[in-house]
């Protein structure tokens, strides 16, 4: 099978590209290279392209035909929550406009399978500690809104022209499947802590008085390699005759507190991690964990790596 991966030179995308290559698939990467790196994708064909531009549609249709593309995995998007609040129009243009161009090109090019990179940000600030896919989706920032709209667009394309799609709502992704594919962005807890340690600063913990065992917020962490495997399981699922669901949580199904993460960082790095505890941030729930029963039952997927694996692999990649 030939698979086109948008955003395939980025952190998560490059893991999926490598897994596809390992199982013998032909891979075409589409990336604007604003954050991606071509050395991450091996011998995959790379098409440098911004999906939100007018040039995207003809370039994609041509790539589909040239490489016999049968399926698309769509990562390409802007993904910083704070930036999305400051620049909402840019996020709607890039994330929604880019997805619209991709879907139109898939319709015109006869490519009928899509795995869409969505996010737990679609849930907003849920009233429950454990979130299910059939619960309310009420995003509270433009980033989450654009991801939810992407899901709607994929579903609408299914009704309109038969697109088979699966949208994966990620929770907190970290770690590295290979030392050369570490996360180069400093936007999530573990890279932020590593950067603080390198600079000799105390990592900051927002909130020490939550109703949790140690007072810090609890989140669901998933190893990036487990997440990448979920994309392959979703691709295979799209070939099935019976597909009862099109949206899946991707997480571990259990939570770790911020202080628990710091304790593991201390064990792995050997660096004494003494955090600075500040006031809670507005809108941060005490506990947010994925219900993963749907993806387990429907796709046969579950995590294989724990928090220690995540931190250890992220630290090795950083040192490398």
Q: Are residues 310 and 233 in the same domain?
A: no
pLDDT of 191: 94
Residues 239-290: pLDDT tens digits?
A: 999 999 999 999 999 999 999 999 999 999 999 888 999 998 776 788 899 9
pLDDT band at 43 (very low <50, low <70, confident <90, very high): very high
pLDDT band at 173 (very low <50, low <70, confident <90, very high): very high
pLDDT of 125: 86
Q: Are residues 245 and 260 in the same domain?
A: no
Q: Are residues 114 and 215 in the same domain?
A: no
Give 8's Cβ-side CA count (13 Å radius). Answer: 29
Q: Are residues 130 and 63 in the same domain?
A: yes
Q: What is the pTM of this model?
A: 0.96
Q: Which domain holds residue 260?
A: 175-220+252-319
pLDDT of 145: 97
Number of residues that make up the chain: 320
Print the SS3 string covering 193-244: HHHHHHCCCCCEEECCCCCCCCCCCEECEEEHHHHHHHHHHHHHHCCCCCCC
Across 21-25, average pLDDT:
97
Q: Which positions are annotated as active-site residues?
A: 143
Q: Is 10 helix (H, G, I), strand (E, B) or coil?
A: coil
Our count of domains for the chain comes to 2
Across 173-181, average pLDDT:
97
pLDDT band at 86 (very low <50, low <70, confident <90, very high): very high
Q: Are residues 161 and 47 in the same domain?
A: yes
Domain boundary (203, 235, 250) is at 250
Residues 93-150: pLDDT tens digits?
A: 999 999 999 999 999 999 999 999 999 999 998 989 899 999 999 998 999 999 999 9
pLDDT of 286: 87
Tell me how far apart the alpha carbons of residues 200 and 280 are, in angstroms, rounded to a whole number. Answer: 23
Q: Are residues 117 and 52 in the same domain?
A: yes
Q: Are residues 241 and 165 in the same domain?
A: yes
Contact yes or no for 96/146 (Cβ under 8 A)? yes
């Amino acid at each position: 099978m030939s698979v086109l991966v948008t955003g395939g030179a980025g952190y998560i995308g490059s893991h999926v590209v490598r897994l596809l290559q390992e199982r013998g698939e032909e891979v075409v990467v589409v990336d604007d290279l604003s954050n991606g790196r071509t050395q991450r994708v091996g011998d995959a064909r790379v098409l440098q392209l911004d999906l939100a531009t007018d040039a995207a549609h003809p370039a994609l249709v041509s790539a589909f035909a040239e490489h016999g593309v049968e399926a698309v995995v769509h990562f390409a998007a802007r993904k910083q929550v704070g930036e999305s609040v400051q620049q909402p129009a840019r996020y709607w243009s890039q994330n929604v406009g880019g997805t619209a161009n991709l879907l139109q090109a898939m319709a015109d090019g006869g490519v009928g399978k899509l795995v869409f990179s969505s996010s737990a940000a679609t849930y907003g600030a849920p009233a429950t500690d454990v979130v299910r896919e059939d619960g309310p989706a009420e995003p509270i920032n433009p980033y989450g809104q654009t991801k939810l709209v992407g899901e709607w667009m994929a579903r609408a394309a299914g009704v309109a022209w038969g697109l088979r799609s699966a949208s994966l709502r990620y929770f907190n992704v970290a770690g590295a499947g290979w030392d050369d594919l570490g996360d180069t962005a400093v936007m999530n807890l573990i890279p932020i802590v590593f950067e603080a340690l390198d600079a000799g600063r105390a990592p900051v913990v927002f909130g020490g008085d939550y109703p949790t065992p140690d007072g810090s917020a609890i989140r669901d962490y998933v190893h990036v390699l487990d997440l990448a495997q979920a994309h392959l399981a979703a691709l295979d699922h799209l070939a099935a005759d019976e597909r009862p669901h099109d949206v899946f949580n991707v997480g571990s199904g259990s939570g770790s507190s911020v202080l628990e993460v710091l304790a593991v960082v201390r064990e792995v790095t050997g660096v004494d991690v003494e955090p600075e505890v500040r006031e809670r941030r507005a809108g941060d729930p005490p506990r947010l964990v994925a219900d993963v029963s749907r993806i387990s039952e429907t796709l046969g997927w579950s995590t294989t790596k724990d928090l220690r694996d995540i931190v250890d692999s992220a630290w090795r990649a950083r040192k490398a």
